[in-house]
């Protein structure tokens, strides 16, 4: 059989194991004093009795150092002369090194420095010969200060932000370290869905005008809050199409309409057509710059946009189709109606012409409401006892424009209604 014995080291990582299994602090090894009872802590040292070390010099540069609260401070002791000795760091007042201090060779590092770390630090080494004692040392004065304020500055990637661009806002902090940054809307609202924060950077991808507003960078340090605001304005440079500025093509119900996209561009030109707010009708045909719609109905009325491009320049040309004679007929009598999109700005500016043939003395012909259920602003037109009435909300009550005489039943009549804020007018058969 084999008699196996394993002797474990009883000392910790910060201790030196003597040959007799005694443990002493590592700092006591090779210091010229016997701490192990068997002398093993001095037996392997490179510095031998009688060695001349008078030419050893220690130097710390600079002799004064200033640091800010929270900063990591490195103090290095440079030795010139013989090798094979150990360096020690201590405080000049005799106190222990701070808890946030760590020595590695000739380097003393203070992590997250505080004003309490201020003072004089000494780097030294001792040598004990057979008949002599040599000491070398140098010192440095450290001063750690609080900054009165943390200064924030926001730098945008683009001074002018445009629709569809990626916009970066970077929050730059000057002052003590150890703070936390976060981004928000200055009005307390949530960041937009296309915004993402990474450290000190706020990035808005595919920016839109809805992203315009004031953004706030906030830093938290020692329970104190600092913030800086930046107003972002996203310009919408996309071409707009206003029916009032577009060429208007008038057609009767059931007629065929042709729209021509005439543009003077150099080179080969490509054309495409689209209907604003929808898709092209099923009865529409595109042939180069021409759009043909057969048998138009009231559904075909609206704004059409021709886009012409030669690869370098792109131009949008709006055309507006107005369909006349599209008269709806309600076979369900009093229970039927036709619902159209709400006129969103009817409470400010409203102008419409209605042609109708009444079959009874009472009835509602047009109603435009702000909210379901009749709440909010409204516009209405109808007959009461055969007399046309134009009603609208003026804020303090209902404004009424009433005709002077009843209309003839089973005859066609045309009424022109106009409203500008609190003023309204009605013209009948003029």
Mean pLDDT of 31-43: 75
Whole-number pLDDT of residue 231: 93
- Asked if residue 302 belongs to a domain, the reply is yes
Q: What is the pLDDT of residues 114-124, one digit of tens each?
A: 889 999 999 88
Contact 331, 382 (CB under 8 A): no
Which has more pLDDT, 1 or 124?
124
6-15, 29-38, 284-293, 300-309 — most confident range: 284-293
- Does residue 272 belong to any structural domain of this protein? yes
Helix extents (H) in 7-54: 40-43
How far apart CA 430 and CA 120 sit, in angstroms, is 101
Q: Which of 153, 4, 140, 123 is nearest to 57 (CA)?
A: 123
Bridge partners (DSSP) listed for residue 70: none
Q: How far apart are CA 49 and CA 57, in angstroms?
A: 19
Question: Do the beta carbons of residue 44 and residue 37 sit within 8 Å?
Answer: no
Other Cβ atoms less than 10 A from the Cβ of 379: the count is 22
The answer to the question of residue 8 being in a domain is no
The answer to whether 76 touches 62, Cβ cutoff 8 Å, is no
Say if residue 109 is in the same domain as residue 168: no
- Show Cβ contacts of residue 235 under 8 Å, excluding neighbours closer than 6 positions: 160, 161, 162, 163, 209
> Do 278 and 322 meet the contact criterion of CB atoms below 8 Å apart?
no
* Domain match, 262 and 293 both: yes
Beta partners for 219? Answer: 181, 226
CA 360 – CA 85 distance, rounded (Å):
116
Rounded to whole angstroms, the Cα distance separating 430 from 423 reads 20
The residue range of the domain holding 201 is 151-235
Whether residue 263 is contained in a domain is answered as yes
Residue bearing the bigger pLDDT, 346 or 323:
323
User: Domain tally for the chain?
Assistant: 5
The answer to whether 292 touches 284, Cβ cutoff 8 Å, is yes
Cα 171 from chain centroid (whole Å): 12
Instruction: Look at residue 329 and tell me if it is in a domain.
Output: no
Q: pLDDT at position 3, please?
A: 55
CATH code: domain of residue 226: 2.60.40.10
The predicted-structure confidence for 79-99, as pLDDT tens digits, reads as follows 876 666 678 888 988 888 999
Residues making up the chain, counted from first to last: 430
Cα–Cα dist 10/18, whole Å: 10
What CATH number does residue 419 fall under? Answer: 2.60.120.200
Question: What sign does the CA torsion over 241, 247, 253, 256 have?
Answer: negative
Q: Which two tokens stand for residue 14?
A: 């910060």
Q: Are 195 and 265 contained in the same domain? A: no
Does 58 share its domain with 114? Answer: yes
139 and 58 co-located in one domain: yes
Query: Is the per-residue pLDDT at 368 higher than 90?
Result: no
- Can you tell me the distance from the alpha carbon of 101 to that of 112, in angstroms, rounded to the nearest whole number? 10
Which residues are registered as beta bridge partners of 250?
A: 322
Residue 395 lies in a domain: yes
What integer best gives the mean pLDDT of the chain? 80
- The mean per-residue pLDDT over the stretch 94-116 comes to 89
Last residue of a domain, one of 145, 168, 197: 145
Residue 336 lies in a domain: no
Specify the higher pLDDT residue, 292 or 88. 292
Kindly report the CATH number assigned to the domain that includes residue 34.
4.10.400
CA 26, CA 17: separation in Å to the nearest integer?
A: 9
Residue with tokens 């909010």: 376
Q: Are residues 365 and 413 in the same domain?
A: yes
Is 50 a residue whose pLDDT tops 50? no
Q: What are 402's two structure tokens?
A: 């009433």
Please tell me the least confidently modeled range out of 39-53, 162-176, 233-247.
39-53
C-alpha 316: how far from its chain's center? 32
Q: Which of 288-297, 356-365, 411-420 has the highest mean pLDDT?
A: 288-297
Contact 271, 261 (CB under 8 A): yes
Final residue before a domain boundary, out of 180, 208, 235? 235
Residue that is last in its domain, among 235, 255, 288: 235
286, 320: one domain: yes
Residue 115 is assigned to a structural domain of this protein: yes
DSSP per residue over 64-112, as a string? EEEEETT--EEEE-EEES--S---EEEETTSPPPPTTEEEETTEEEESS
Contact between residue 71 and residue 176 where contact means Cβ atoms under 8 Å apart:
yes
């Amino acid at each position: 059989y084999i008699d196996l014995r394993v002797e474990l080291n009883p000392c910790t990582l910060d201790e030196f194991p003597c040959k007799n299994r005694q443990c002493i602090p590592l700092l006591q090894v090779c210091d010229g004093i016997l701490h192990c009872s068997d002398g093993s802590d001095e037996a392997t040292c490179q510095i031998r009795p009688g060695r001349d070390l008078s030419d050893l010099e220690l130097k710390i540069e600079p002799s004064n150092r200033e640091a800010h609260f929270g900063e990591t401070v490195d103090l290095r002791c440079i030795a010139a002369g013989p090798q094979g000795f150990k360096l020690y760091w201590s405080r000049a007042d005799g106190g222990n090194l701070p808890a946030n201090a760590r020595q590695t060779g000739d380097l003393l590092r203070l992590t997250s420095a505080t004003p309490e770390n201020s003072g004089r630090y000494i780097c030294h080494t001792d040598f004990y010969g057979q008949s002599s004692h040599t000491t070398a040392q140098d010192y440095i004065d450290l001063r750690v200060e609080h900054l009165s304020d943390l200064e924030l500055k926001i730098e945008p990637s683009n001074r002018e932000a445009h629709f569809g661009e990626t916009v970066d806002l970077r929050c730059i902090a000057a002052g003590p370290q150890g703070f936390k940054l976060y981004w928000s809307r200055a009005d307390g609202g949530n960041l937009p869905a296309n915004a993402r924060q990474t450290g000190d950077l706020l990035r808005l991808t595919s920016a839109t005008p809805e992203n315009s507003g004031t953004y706030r960078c906030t830093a938290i340090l020692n329970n104190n809050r600092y913030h800086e605001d930046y107003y972002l304005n996203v310009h919408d440079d996309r071409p707009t199409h206003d029916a009032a500025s577009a060429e208007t093509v008038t057609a009767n119900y059931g007629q065929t309409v042709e729209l021509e996209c005439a543009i003077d561009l150099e080179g080969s030109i490509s054309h495409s057509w689209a209907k604003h707010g929808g898709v092209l009708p099923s009865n529409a045909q595109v042939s180069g710059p021409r759009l043909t719609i057969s048998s138009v109905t009231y559904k075909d009325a609206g704004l059409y946009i021709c886009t012409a491009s030669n690869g370098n320049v792109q131009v949008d040309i709006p055309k507006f189709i107005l369909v006349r004679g599209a008269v709806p007929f309600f076979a369900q009598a009093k229970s039927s109606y036709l619902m159209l999109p709400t006129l969103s700005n009817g409470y400010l500016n409203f102008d419409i012409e209605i042609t109708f043939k009444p079959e009874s003395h009472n009835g509602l012909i047009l109603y435009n409401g702000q909210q379901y259920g009749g709440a909010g602003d409204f516009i209405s037109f109808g007959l009461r006892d055969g007399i046309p009435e134009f009603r609208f909300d003026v804020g303090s009550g209902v404004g009424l424009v009433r005709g002077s005489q009843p209309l003839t039943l089973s005859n066609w009549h045309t009424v022109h209604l106009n409203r500008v804020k609190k003023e309204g007018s009605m013209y009948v058969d003029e």
